[in-house]
C-alpha cells in the first residue's frame, strides 16, 4: 500500500478517490470546494488546504479536474503540487487535457526531478464509483510500472500507450470523439426512423440487440431513443471543451475531422442556448429540430 494524494473531487474524482481508500492506500485529498471532501474524510482521508500540502510526502498524486487551465494551475501554480512534491514522486494525471498540456507539464516535472504519467479515465461517474472505469496509461516505462498497481482498484483494466504521456491524452480525445460520433449517428438514424413511422425505440432495440451490442450504443442510445437526457454524466460545456481540444490538436497536425466538427457545432448550439442542465448527449436534440421535430 502506498501513500497517495488525490486532487479534484468532482463527480468522477470522488468515486476514484474512494476506491483508492477502499483498496487500503493512505490518502490525502484536496478540492477547491473543501466541503466535497467530507465523505472521504469520514473514510479516513486527510484533507489538505492546498495542492502543495496534499502532495507533500506522497509517492503518487492523482489529479482529476475540468480543464487544462485548472490542471496547470494546480500543478505549477504558487500552491501547486510541484511546490510540495518530493523528487522521484509521480503525478498521475487523469484529466482530459490537450496533449500539448501533458507534454508541458511533463517537462515541468522533469525539471523538478519528478515524473508525470497520463492516465485518462474512460467512463461516467457511476462507472467511477463502481470501479468500472477503463484506464489509459502512458509515460516513462519505470514510472508506469510504479503507477499501474495504483490504477487497479479504479477500474476494469489499464491499457498502456508507451513512454510519451501525451499519447494517452490523444487516446482519451479519440475516445470522447468516438462517443460523440456514435451519438450523432444514432440521432440522425432515430430521427429518420421517427419521421418514417418506424419509431425511435424499435430501431434502437433492434440495433443494440444485433450489430451494435455494446455499452456505448446501449447507454447513449437509450437516452436518444427516449429523448430523456438524464442523469447528467457530463454537462454540454465540459464535453464541448473536449471537442475543442480534439479540433485544436487535429488543426495542429493538419488532419481534417469533419465529423468532429459536426459534433462540436451541435454542442456549441447547445451551449449557446444555455441547455446546460442535461447530459451532453442532448445535443441529439439539434438533429430532431433540424428535421422540424421538438420545435
| Active centre residues (catalytic) | 172
Look at the block and give the residue holding cell 465529423. Answer: 259
| 112 CB-near residues (< 8 Å, 6+ apart) | 82, 85, 87
Q: In the bound complex, what is the minimum distance in angstroms from residue 98's beta carbon to a second copy?
A: 11
| List of long-range contacts for 292-295, beta carbons under 8 Å, 24+ apart | 293/191, 293/194, 293/195, 294/227
Which of 145, 178 has the CB closer to a second copy? 178
Contacting a second copy within 27-56 (CB under 8 A) = none
The Cα 9–Cα 32 span in angstroms is 9
- C-alpha cell belonging to residue 86: 518530493
Q: In the bound complex, what is the minimum distance in angstroms from residue 68's beta carbon to a second copy?
A: 15
Contacting a second copy within 134-153 (CB under 8 A) = 134, 136
Which of 18, 184 has the CB closer to a second copy? 184
Which of 41, 252 has the CB closer to a second copy? 252
Is the distance from CB of 178 to CB of 204 less than 8 angstroms?
A: no
The Cα 97–Cα 294 span in angstroms is 34
Q: Which of 149, 195, 228, 230 binds a second copy (CB under 8 A)?
A: 195
Q: In the bound complex, what is the minimum distance in angstroms from residue 274's beta carbon to a second copy?
A: 8
The conformation of residue 277, written as its DSSP 8-state character, comes to S
The conformation of residue 4, written as its DSSP 8-state character, comes to E
Give the angle 217-222-228 at the CA atoms, nearest 5°.
Answer: 140
Contacting a second copy within 154-193 (CB under 8 A) = 156-157, 159, 161-162, 164, 166-167, 170-171, 173-175, 177-179, 181-182, 184-186, 188-189, 191-193
Which of 150, 190 has the CB closer to a second copy? 190
Which of 94, 179 has the CB closer to a second copy? 179
* HEC readout, 94-141: CCCCCHHHHHHHHHHHHHHCCEEEECCEECCHHHHHCCCEEEEEECCH
Q: Residues touching a second copy: how many (CB under 8 A)?
A: 79
Q: In the bound complex, what is the minimum distance in angstroms from residue 41's beta carbon to a second copy?
A: 33
Which of 110, 214 has the CB closer to a second copy? 214
- C-alpha cell belonging to residue 285: 436534440
Q: By rule CB under 8 A, what string of x and - marks binding of each residue 60-99 to a second copy?
A: ---------------------------------------x
Q: In the bound complex, what is the minimum distance in angstroms from residue 15's beta carbon to a second copy?
A: 18
- C-alpha cell belonging to residue 136: 489509459
Strand ranges of the sheet holding 3-7, from the earlier edge strand across to the other edge: 46-47, 26-30, 3-7, 60-63, 90-93, 115-118
Contacting a second copy within 199-258 (CB under 8 A) = 202-203, 205-207, 209-217, 244, 246-247, 249-251, 253-258
Q: In the bound complex, what is the minimum distance in angstroms from residue 131's beta carbon to a second copy?
A: 14
Amino acid at each position: 500500500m502506498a501513500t497517495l494524494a488525490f486532487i479534484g473531487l468532482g463527480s468522477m474524482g470522488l468515486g476514484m478517490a474512494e476506491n483508492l481508500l477502499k483498496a487500503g492506500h493512505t490518502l490525502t485529498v484536496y478540492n477547491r470546494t473543501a466541503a466535497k471532501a467530507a465523505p472521504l474524510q469520514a473514510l479516513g482521508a486527510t484533507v489538505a488546504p492546498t495542492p502543495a500540502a496534499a502532495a507533500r510526502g506522497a509517492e503518487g498524486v492523482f489529479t482529476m479536474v475540468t480543464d487544462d487551465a485548472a490542471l496547470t494551475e494546480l500543478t505549477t501554480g504558487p500552491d501547486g503540487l510541484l511546490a510540495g512534491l518530493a523528487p522521484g514522486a509521480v503525478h498521475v494525471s487523469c484529466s482530459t487535457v490537450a496533449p500539448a498540456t501533458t507534454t508541458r507539464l511533463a517537462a515541468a516535472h522533469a525539471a523538478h526531478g519528478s515524473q508525470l504519467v497520463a492516465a485518462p479515465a474512460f467512463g461516467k461517474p457511476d462507472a467511477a464509483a463502481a470501479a468500472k472505469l477503463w484506464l489509459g496509461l502512458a509515460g516513462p516505462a519505470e514510472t508506469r510500472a510504479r503507477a499501474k498497481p495504483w490504477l487497479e482498484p479504479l477500474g476494469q483494466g489499464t491499457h498502456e500507450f508507451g513512454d510519451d504521456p501525451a499519447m494517452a491524452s490523444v487516446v482519451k480525445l479519440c475516445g470522447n470523439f468516438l462517443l460523440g460520433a456514435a451519438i450523432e449517428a444514432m440521432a440522425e438514424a432515430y430521427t429518420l426512423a421517427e419521421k418514417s413511422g418506424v419509431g425511435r425505440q424499435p430501431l434502437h432495440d433492434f440495433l443494440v440487440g444485433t450489430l451494435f451490442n455494446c455499452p456505448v450504443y446501449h447507454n447513449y442510445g437509450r437516452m436518444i431513443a427516449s429523448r430523456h437526457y438524464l442523469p447528467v454524466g457530463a454537462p454540454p460545456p465540459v464535453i464541448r471543451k473536449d471537442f475543442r481540444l480534439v479540433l485544436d490538436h487535429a488543426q495542429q497536425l493538419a488532419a481534417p475531422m469533419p465529423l468532429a466538427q459536426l459534433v462540436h457545432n451541435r454542442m456549441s448550439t447547445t451551449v449557446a442556448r444555455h441547455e446546460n442542465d442535461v447530459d451532453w448527449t442532448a445535443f441529439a436534440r439539434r438533429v430532431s429540430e433540424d428535421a422540424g421535430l421538438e420545435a
